[in-house]
Chain A
Amino acid sequence: MDITVKKIGETEKEYIEIGCHKKDERIDEIVRFIRSREGILKGTKEDRQYSIALPDILYIEAVDEKTFIYLENDCYESGRRLYEFDEALASRNFARISKSVVVNLMKITSIKPSLNGRFSCVLTNGEQVIISRKYVPDIREKLKGGAV
Chain B
Amino acid sequence: MKERFRSQLAAFFISVTLIDLAIFILGCLLEPDLKFGYEAFAYPLIYGVIGSLPGLIMYSKKELTMKQTIIREIIQMLLIVVLIIAFMFGRFRGIEYDVFPQIIAVAASVMIIYVLVNFFGWLIDLKTANIMTEDLKKYQAKASGKNE
Contact = CB atoms under 8 A, between A and B. Distances in A.
Q: Are A and B co-members of a single complex?
A: yes
B147 A134 contact: no
B1 to A, nearest CB: 8
B116 interface: no
A146 interface: yes
Interface residues of B, number: 32
Contacts of B121: 117
A143 B70 contact: no
A50 B129 CA distance: 36
A38 interface: yes
A139 B140 CA distance: 14
Interface in B119-146: 121-122, 125-126, 128-129, 132-133, 135-136, 138-140, 142-146
A113 B125 contact: yes
A55 B140 CA distance: 12
B20 interface: no
Interface stretch (A8-16, A24-32, A40-48, A66-74): A8-16
